[in-house]
A = this chain, B = another copy of it.
Amino acid sequence: MIVIMNNKAKDDEIKKVMGIVEGLGLEANLSRGGSFCVIGLVGDTSIIDGDKLMAIDGVEKVLKVQEPYKKANRLFKPENSIIDVNGNKIGGKNFAVMAGPCSVESEEQIIEVAKKVKESGANFLRGGAFKPRTSPYSFQGLELEGLNLLLKAKEATGLSIVTEIMSTDYIDVFEEKVDVIQVGARNMQNFDLLKQLGKTNKTILLKRGLSATFEEWIMSAEYIMAGGNENVVLCERGIRTFETYTRNTLDLSAIPVIKKLTHLPIIIDPSHAGGKWWLVEPMAKAAIVAGADGLMIEVHNDPVNALSDGAQSLKPEAFDDLMKKVKVLVELEEREL
């Protein structure tokens, strides 16, 4: 950490900063130039709150030199993390495809979609049992019944299941029944939920918050990892910008950035990002060649009657077509589906 004093900083202000830093057991190195004065901090600076130093008169800026995350940091673990879910691997050379409906609606629906997406090559079944809906009056998901239907679809197809958790109240049930626990964008900074998931050993799919910076997103992964659970997969699903034609703006640069900063796998959800089914294919293809470790894609056997998010779902035939193109690019990138 580096503290930059402003050019009107007085000697006693500089001393005050150094005193505080040294009082915390760190070393403070002073360096002065013509128009600048910099204090370099040596030691474990993760215990210092930069905002606190900013409150001292004379301090211009406080700069973190080291990233605030440790367990997720590629600096401390250079090789890619590979996460094993019932034998299906995520990360490394492996390419994961998670497909299924936005919401679980009925036994018939989920089993039919599961069979179809498996045939087309998906290796995970996604489907919402607990749904985060903006309105309290919208369909909130089949909840526990939905979880059980997902298990039936798993039984019928062998696909591992991915579904979203919305409350710490259900952690035990999810631990028992679900293969990959999804934390949605709206709960990315529900720190209490993250902490409790850190105590499980389930794979956690952590979606990027609507307005979360890369650092905040990685710090949320760090919450889970700091608790002892290093099975974290990140998922970019679009950020909120001024553009409203697309529901959100899919930030594909997240792929190389996350791979540079962390060792965690990252997958892309092109369905939620754009909110339009015809954006799914080009964005899915783009994600693969940009280095993504997988895709999460909404597939529904009857988009018009879907209880949520119909406009962005592919029909099974369209998904099957897409998977043909996906396979070509996955192979080209020397990865395995």
Contact = CB atoms under 8 A, between A and B. Distances in A.
Interface of A: 2, 4, 6-7, 16, 20, 27, 29, 31-36, 38, 40-43, 46-47, 49, 51-56, 60-61, 63, 65-66, 68-69, 132-139, 166-169, 186-187, 189-193, 195, 210-211, 213-216, 219, 222-223, 226-227, 239-246, 249-253, 255-257, 260, 273-275, 277-279, 282-283, 285-291, 303-313, 328-329, 332
B222 A135 contact: yes
Contacts of A167: 168, 192-193
19 contacts: A2-B36, A33-B41, A36-B42, A38-B38, A52-B304, A52-B310, A52-B311, A56-B304, A68-B135, A134-B189, A186-B191, A210-B211, A215-B245, A239-B243, A241-B251, A249-B249, A250-B251, A252-B286, A285-B290
Nearest to A288: B289
Contacts of A40: 31-33, 36, 38
Contacts of A193: 167
Nearest to A166: B192
Contacts of A255: 282
B63 A63 contact: yes
A305 B65 CA distance: 22
Contacts of A211: 210-211, 240, 242
Given A51-B311, A329-B289, A243 B214 contact: yes
Contact of A166 (B2, B46, B191): B191
B242 A213 contact: yes
Nearest to A137: B46
B253 A283 contact: yes
Number of copies: 4
A52 B240 contact: no
B308 A51 contact: yes
B213 A52 contact: no
Given A242-B241, A285-B289, A279 B306 contact: no
A216 B288 CA distance: 30
A243 to B, nearest CB: 6
A2 B191 CA distance: 35
B38 A33 contact: no
B241 A260 contact: no
Contact of A286 (B29, B245, B287): B287
A54 B134 contact: no
A66 to B, nearest CB: 7
A278 to B, nearest CB: 7
Nearest to A274: B253
A149 to B, nearest CB: 20
A114 to B, nearest CB: 21
Given A42-B34, A313-B55, A256 B282 contact: yes
A7 B49 contact: no
A61 B4 CA distance: 14
B136 A308 contact: no
Nearest to A220: B134
Nearest to A50: B311
A63 B27 CA distance: 22
Contacts of A240: 211, 242
